[in-house]
Amino acid sequence: MKLTVNGKEMELTCQTAFEVRNQVGNPTDIVILNGFQISQDSPISENDVLSVIQKGVMPKEEELESMMMARHTPNVHNKLKNAKVAIAGLGGLGSNIAVMLARIGVGELFLVDFDIIEPSNLNRQNYYVRHLGMPKTIALKEQIEEINPFITVKTETVKITEENVKRLFSDYDILCEAFDKPDQKSMLVNTALEQLPNVKIVAASGLAGYESSNLIKTTRPMSRLYLCGDLENSARIGNGLMAPRVQICAGHQANMVLRLLVGQDEI
């Protein structure tokens, strides 16, 4: 029977998934059959795709690639693998967006921020105590390498201004705006819309506090601009930035990026 096991085509006489596991791996290995992790043995058919992964061990690149492709379906995974996404600002939004895009296998991420990690960041940003004092670009790149070492992560530790937007982001399919301050958000979005005619922008507005999660949504105010948030709740005295709503909004942005990359440009 012809099967694809960990990214390689094989001819095996096995009749079930666990027989394949026992032949190519160990009885304790994780088995993913056609994109679904199974806990009970299952019959297999010609051209099935299996991933047999040893617990607690980083798989080889082709094994991880095969596993992710099975999870995502080949057509989706290939689009993500060939994509390039830039993230401007690596705070509560940007750090979480970057991690989500790394987990789904976006082939190239470009991370831009000028700041270092300080204790007040830890309440919502994807960093740890050991990262305090490090540039956000370096700390986030290190984390992504622990999640998926086989994607390309480029960084630039620089403050984004009207003068450098075109230089920084013109080579990217999608730009995620992930700033905290409204004036900086406006500057980046307006400059990118004017100077980068082929780039889609996924921005955010209104994610502070602890209002209902259901108020956060994705809208499309312009053909190349997608806006995530509730459009009302900005950070101010008595209405701070907190992890749940920040991460919900980051999830909206990351999911909109995913939809754009697979050709779904409607909200």
Please name every residue paired with 200 in a beta bridge, in sequence order, or none if there are none: 174
Q: What is the pLDDT tens value at each position of the chain, 267 positions in all?
A: 999 999 889 999 999 999 999 999 999 999 999 988 999 999 999 999 999 999 888 888 888 888 788 778 778 999 999 999 999 999 999 999 999 999 999 999 999 999 999 999 999 999 999 999 999 999 999 999 999 999 999 999 999 999 999 999 999 999 999 999 999 999 999 999 999 999 999 999 999 999 999 999 999 999 999 999 999 988 888 888 999 999 999 999 999 999 999 999 998
- Judged by DSSP in three states, 88 sits in strand
Determine contact, residues 4/48, Cβ cutoff 8 Å: yes
Question: What's the full length of the chain, in residues?
Answer: 267
Close Cβ partners of 11 (under 8 Å, ≥ 6 residues apart): 1, 2, 3
Q: Which two tokens stand for residue 146?
A: 């622990």
Residue 125 to residues 30, 70, 91, 128, 184, Cα–Cα distance (Å): 31, 30, 6, 9, 19
- Distance in angstroms (rounded) separating the CA atoms of residues 240 and 198: 35
124 — alpha (psi -120 to 50), left (phi > 0) or beta? alpha
Query: Please, what are the domains in the chain?
Result: 2-71 (3.10.20.30), 77-261 (3.40.50.720)
